[in-house]
Amino acid sequence: MTDSSKPYVLVFGLSIYDIFGFTNNHYRPYDSNPGKVKVSCGGVCRNIAENMARIGMNTKFISILGEDEKGQAILKAASKVGLDMQDSLIIKGASTPTYLAILDEKGEMVSAVVDIEIAKCFDKEEVDKRSKIIKEAEYMFFGADNPELIEYIVKTYKGYTHFVLDPVSTTKAQGVKHLLPYFHTIKPNRYEAEILCGFRLDSEETIREAGAYFRAIGVQNVFISLDTEGIYYNNGKEEGIIRGMPLVVKNVTGAGDAFVAGLGYGYMNATNIKETVKLAITLSNITISHEETIHPELNYKQVEQVMTACKWEEKSFRGEVRGINK
């Protein structure tokens, strides 16, 4: 459970109960298919929060759940890793957000159903009931699932805390584009960044132009994921690209969530920007080395060991930082 007397980070967003059906043989529509069913707790923001808790961060996670078995499973999973969800909204008689997918024998999705109807129950009034928690958080992390509610939060609570955005997808990035000046930090991938800045990032020069653009409109720290090319960073004082390749890749799902958790750790421990990026990349590399979306044995000691052993490639744009503080 979070110690509210000590500095904490707040994550706000959906928890998803994931159900995956894997067929053994060729998928047959309109028929029962022999196979295996796997369930897990997911959702970008929930994943970010769990990663934070697993590496020892004082973390609060505000979400919305139904008063059902799925919601109880998510709360139990959070409690197991020390993630504080006590301020989440629980709706009696409603279904916890659920994602149901059917995958064929090749692992390709053939059908899916998403049930997040409950999300609309978290409105401005419910946000304001938790105003003290928001105001006292050192940082508040968002996905981009609910642009209208995010707009209300960043405009109402501007100046009380620092807002951090993971756009999640190109489609969702479009919905929060106009809110970028309210964010202390953004962490888009290359394609989400293109939506947010309005031009293609197809060279080192254009990537740096994007960093300068985001800095110019008010974002303090910019991190852009360039896939295997590394992470671009710019805080107005230091700018560069850092790359640390993983030794093993089993499942890339969840890598971005782990990276954002690493940023939070760096911020809360006053780590310089280069070390923060390395730590965040390390969390991503640990995550993708396991079949699960979140590495079940993740801990900070493991992060330190992997980070030390990793071979890093660094490029710093010294003396010519774009978007420098004036």
Tokens, residue 298: 């993740």
pTM of the model: 0.92
pLDDT digits (tens, 9 = 90+) for 161-193: 999 999 989 999 999 999 999 999 999 999 999
Task: Give yes or no for residue 326 having a pLDDT over 50.
Answer: no
In a domain, 284, yes or no: yes
In a domain, 21, yes or no: no
Domain region containing 299? 9-13+43-95+118-316
In a domain, 100, yes or no: no
C-beta separation of 194 from 200 below 8 A: yes
Tell me the mean pLDDT in the region 77-94: 96
Number of domains in the chain: 1
In a domain, 133, yes or no: yes
pLDDT digits (tens, 9 = 90+) for 30-79: 999 999 999 999 999 999 999 999 999 999 999 999 999 999 999 999 99
In a domain, 270, yes or no: yes
**Three-class secondary structure of residue 155 per DSSP:** helix
CA distance linking residue 96 with residue 261, whole number of Å: 24
C-beta separation of 251 from 296 below 8 A: no
In a domain, 195, yes or no: yes
In a domain, 236, yes or no: yes
Task: Give yes or no for residue 245 having a pLDDT over 90.
Answer: no
Average pLDDT, the chain: 93
Categorize the per-residue pLDDT at 282 as very low, low, confident or very high, splitting at 50, 70 and 90.
Answer: very high
Domain containing residue 189: CATH number: 3.40.1190.20
E strands present in 77-181: 89-91, 98-103, 109-115, 139-142, 162-165
In a domain, 326, yes or no: no
